[in-house]
Amino acid sequence: MSRSFIMVILLHIFDPQMATIIDGKGLALSLRGKIKEEVSQYKNSGNRSPHLAAILVGDDGASKTYVNSKERDCDFVGFDSTVHRLPSETSENDLLALIESINLNDQIDGLIVQLPLPKHIDSAKVTDSIDPKIDVDGFHTINVGRLTKNEDTYISATPFGIMIMLEEYGIETKGKHCVVIGRSNIVGRPMSILMSRGGYPGESTVTICHRHTQDLKSHTLMADIVIVAVGKPHFLKGDMIKDGAAVVDVGITRVDADNAKGYELRGDAHYDELVDKCSAITPVPGGVGPMTRYGLLYNTLKSYKRKLNL
From candidates 95, 250, 274, 301, binder to ligand NAD by CB under 6 A: 250
* Site stretch for ligand NAD (CB under 6 A), options 37-45, 124-132, 135-143, 209-217: 209-217
Nearer to ligand NAD, 129 or 292 (CB): 292
**Active-site residue, 25 included:** no
**Judged by CB under 6 A, does residue 127 bind ligand NAD?**
no
Distance CA(24)–CA(4), nearest Å, equals 10
Q: Vertex 244, ends 241 and 249: CA angle to 5°?
A: 55
Q: CA-CA distance, 187 to 156, in Å (whole number)?
A: 8
Binding mask 136-175 for ligand NAD (x = CB under 6 A): ----------------------x-----------------
- Tally Cβ neighbours within 10 Å of residue 17: 9
Q: What angle do CA 123, 129, 130 make, to 5 degrees?
A: 105
Kindly state whether residue 292 participates in binding ligand NAD, applying the rule CB under 6 A: yes
Distance between first and last Cα of the chain:
26
Stretch that binds ligand NAD, among 90-98, 225-233, 256-264, 270-278 (CB under 6 A): 225-233
Based on the residue annotation, tell me whether 70 is a catalytic residue of this protein: yes
Identified catalytic residue from 109, 114, 176, 249? 114
Question: Is 214 assigned a catalytic role?
Answer: no
Q: CB 132 → ligand NAD: shortest distance, Å?
A: 21
What is the pairing mode between strands 51-57 and 110-113? parallel
Between CA 8 and CA 238 the distance in angstroms is 23
Residue type, 240: M
Active-site annotation holder among 70, 135, 176, 224: 70
Task: Report how far residue 294's alpha carbon sits from residue 299's, in angstroms, rounded to the nearest whole number.
Answer: 9
- Point out the residues that are catalytic: 70, 114, 137
Residues that bind ligand NAD (CB under 6 A): 158, 181-184, 186-188, 209-211, 213, 216, 229-231, 250-253, 288-289, 292
